[in-house]
Chain A
Amino acid sequence: MNRLTSTHIVYLVALVTIIAGTVLVGTTGRNFFSAGNISDILTGTSILGFIAIGQTLVILVGSLDLSVPYVISLSSLVGAGIMANQAGNILPAALLALLVSALIGLANGAVVAGLKVHGFIATLGMGLIVSGYLGSTYQGSAGQAPLAFRLIGATGIGPVPVSTLIMLACAAVVLVMLNTTRLGHAMYAVGGDAPVARMSGVRTRTPVIAAHVICSTMAGLAGLLLAARLGVGSPTIGSQGGYDLLSIAAVVLGGTLLAGGKGSLVGTLGGVLIFAMLDNIMSVLQVNPFLKDVVRGIVIVVAVAVYARRRTAQRPARFGRGPTRPGDTAPPPGPGASRQGNGPARGDGTDARNEVPA
């Protein structure tokens, strides 16, 4: 049992969800594995998947990104606005939208790595700045995506939507980056212990900035995809979805430590899949939309509680299997140890007291 890493457990939870889904959907007389339903679930994974991939990197380096909803909205507006229903504009519009998103990520990364502001505050502030710009510049949905672009959101190969394929391709690229490149290893190192990484000769700012840039670019991709689905850009599309907190929940559900340094992208994809299946099952069962949030909230906490005490999946070992450190999550303070600990502490205290009058 102890060999099970969190990634395994995530997929076990996903398996349980599939079984529960098959039974529950079966009771309404429908088939959980019908092509339409599978396509629905996979469509549900694509948007959250993009964001969660980026969020995984940001959390791995020990930061957070709360600005994603506003980046999504901005990207959808920039993309749809420049396309203006002209098929020839698709490429420049998409590139510009991604460039704007990447610049926001660069600003996030610079504030976090350069000014040493906690990622929570830096990206919350950046999100507010972008949200102010969105609120003052756009009154409502704007722009128009041409038909060729809208097809990306609508077509699929068999039951697999194109959007999911793009998401999986991005995940594969990021996975290779994380596991084989210098940048990927540096991300784990910086997230685990930044001072140690610095003393080992790793440039600690580059991985943080890179993670933020990739995360915002992924959010920009999600925004473009939403623009393709809706046909227009919308200033509220990101914040309505609550993608910031949901993506963080998916990443943690996937077994990545919130403090950074440990985790896996594969686990994150499992977390996204669980959310998508949960949404699908509840939609099929026609659960009250408010109760959906209740179920989601409980599932997040319970699922994380299942393996919170377990070892987290670490990055693949580079130099063979190292010795496992027993009890590296919990300190081993037996009653004897704590009594030992008390002794010197009391000694220090009396020393200090003796010294004060001297």
Chain B
Amino acid sequence: MSVATERAVLQQNRSPRGERVLRALRTPSGAIFVLVAVLFVAVLAANPSFGEPGSLIRFIGRTAPIAIAAIGQYFVIVSGEFDLSMGSVVTAQVIIAGNLIGQDESRTLPVLALMIVFGAFVGLVNGLVTTLLKVPSFIVTLGTMLALLGLVLFWTGGAATGNPADSFRQIGRGGIQDIPVLEVLPYPVILLAVVAGAAFWLMRRPYGRTLVAVGDNPHAAALTGAPVWWIRTRAFMLSSLAATAAGVILVGYAGVHPSVGQGYEFTAITAVVLGGVVLGGGRGWVLSAAAGAFALELLFTLLNFLGVESTWRDSVQGAIIIVAVAAASRNWQRKRRGASTQAHDEHRPIAAPTPAPGTEGGT
């Protein structure tokens, strides 16, 4: 990188806040927020009552499990791997809750602890097999997905029954009553806010920075002394724990059913990719992944209000994903390194006209 380019990057990073935000909105990770806003306006136009605080907060509550799953999947994808076992983890946790808690309120906390340990364990296995045995994560998590679902269905005989105690289901269904404007603040919304906040904080910590570096170039990260295997393994554990949280919410929402987590991994990956995170790792922002989940749910809501037949929803979803990712990939290609954009943009040579004093044209 030439000196002039470095200077241009510096100038850019010191530009006023408004300008920097505008520039961020032009990257795929920022554009998702524009997409969410556009979809939101479209839904409002189709059904004005959607904008009331009460129904809005319930919409956020409905989206919480998939947004939490997308945040978990983000950690794995940004580190350059895949987690296909997410849907099976959700199903397994839902069935564990249904069968072990039963109607016994006193078991809620021990079983919740067990679910968290189980989630972390699945992630640990995925991570260790991927990193230490060098099996591609696509294959590892595919194996976990088949094995976990098979085990759970074998345990319950294929027809999962059981209904956990009401206190446990309240996590997914209930909320804090008598809030002034919103009427009710659902627990899933609080959980989502906590998870999003924690993820945002974590990605600014050394761990988050190293995770992105590992996803961008694992060899370079290893040479700087990062324990690549342990960083990736922790990403898998975070992903499975996020799936556990999504499962806990879904028990309250959807009840106990073996197909409750079906396809969750693909929805989560879709949300993450819609959020501008690049498959292969090293690019993207964690909150954009959550925004991707909201974009997907808003899209479904819009199709619902427009009266599109539910069978065509898949087609529209598929077309939107392809178009959005195609647009994003053009954008990433134009600006190779995300954050420092214009300096690398061949079409806007801001670096060239201002060579640094004392250098020969900045080479």
Contact = CB atoms under 8 A, between A and B. Distances in A.
Interface of A: 111, 115-118, 120-122, 124-133, 135-136, 245, 248-249, 252, 258, 288, 290-294, 296-298, 300-301, 304-305, 308-309, 329, 331, 333, 337-338, 341-342, 345, 352, 355-356
Contact of B315 (A116, A128, A333, A338): A128
A243 to B, nearest CB: 13
Contact of B330 (A116, A125, A258, A296): A116
A355 B139 CA distance: 47
Contact of B318 (A128, A290, A294, A304): A128
Nearest to B309: A136
Interface string B303-324: 0000001011111111101100
A258 B318 contact: no
B333 interface: yes
A116 B330 CA distance: 8
B139 A129 contact: no
B158 A132 contact: no
Interface stretch (B32-40, B99-107, B220-228, B237-245): B220-228
B149 A293 contact: yes
Interface stretch (B130-138, B174-182, B197-205): B130-138
Interface of B: 3, 6, 10, 84, 129, 133-136, 138-140, 142-151, 153-154, 158, 219, 222-225, 266, 269-270, 273, 279-280, 309, 311-319, 321-322, 325-326, 329-330, 333
Nearest to B140: A301
Nearest to A329: B134
B154 A117 contact: no
A128 B317 CA distance: 7
B318 A126 contact: yes
Given A305-B129, A308-B135, A290 B326 contact: no
30 contacts: A111-B326, A115-B322, A115-B329, A116-B326, A116-B333, A118-B279, A121-B270, A121-B273, A124-B270, A125-B317, A127-B318, A128-B315, A128-B317, A131-B315, A131-B318, A132-B315, A132-B316, A133-B315, A135-B311, A136-B312, A293-B147, A297-B143, A297-B150, A305-B129, A305-B135, A308-B134, A308-B136, A329-B134, A337-B223, A352-B6
B353 to A, nearest CB: 20
A347 to B, nearest CB: 14
Given A126-B318, A129-B314, A288-B154, 5 more contacts: A111-B322, A258-B136, A304-B136, A305-B134, A337-B223
Nearest to A308: B134
A294 B326 contact: no
B138 A258 contact: yes
Contacts of B144: 297, 301
B318 A300 contact: no
A245 B311 contact: no
Contacts of A304: 135-136, 139
Q: Which of B84, B147, B316 has the most CB of A within 10 A?
A: B147
Contact of B150 (A115, A136, A294, A355): A294
A111 B315 CA distance: 16
Nearest to B223: A341
Nearest to A118: B279
Nearest to B150: A293
Nearest to A64: B138
Nearest to A245: B142
Nearest to A122: B322
A291 B222 contact: no
Given A291-B150, A291-B154, A297-B150, A258 B224 contact: no
Contacts of A111: 322, 326
B154 A132 contact: no
Closest 5 pairs (CB-CB, A-B): A132-B315, A128-B318, A293-B150, A297-B146, A297-B147
Contacts of B330: 115-116
Given A120-B279, A121-B321, A122-B322, A249 B142 contact: yes
Q: Which of A111, A301, A352 has the most CB of B within 10 A?
A: A301
A129 B138 CA distance: 23
A65 to B, nearest CB: 13
A287 to B, nearest CB: 10
A200 B293 CA distance: 41
